[in-house]
Amino acid sequence: MKTFQFADTHNLVAFLAKPAESEGFEQIVNFLNANPIRYALTINPTIYTSCIEQLWATVKVKTVNGEVQLQALVDGKKIIVTEASVRRDLQLNE
């Protein structure tokens, strides 16, 4: 079974502005700004590193009723992540 690890480069927020430094990427930035995934890329929630580390240290992949779930224990609370919950929370309803 694969062991998951926390990487501090995860959870970075995208900045979809067009400064001079992004010359040549205007088409990609325009696409991302017009796409519903923009919300998922640009929200800036409070990130608690300790919670993310706990999630990756305890996560197990399980299939329940044909649905793949990530199950973990964070601060003593059972956390279940599904594709549907990610779509809902990041507003990817398509």
Those residues with Cβ within 8 angstroms of residue 44's Cβ, 6 or more apart along the chain or in another chain: 13
Considering only CA atoms, give the Rg of the chain.
16
**Rounded to two decimals, what is the model's pTM?**
0.55
Cα–chain center distance at 73: 18
> In angstroms, what CA-CA distances link 50 with 10, 55, 73?
13, 9, 12
Structure tokens at 39: 């919300």
Question: Cβ neighbours of residue 75 under 8 Å, at least 6 residues apart?
Answer: 51, 54
Other CB atoms within a 10 A radius of the CB of residue 72 amount to: 19
Task: Note down pLDDT in tens along the chain; length 94 residues.
Answer: 666 666 665 555 566 666 666 677 777 778 877 877 777 777 766 777 888 889 989 999 999 999 999 999 999 999 999 999 988 887 777 6
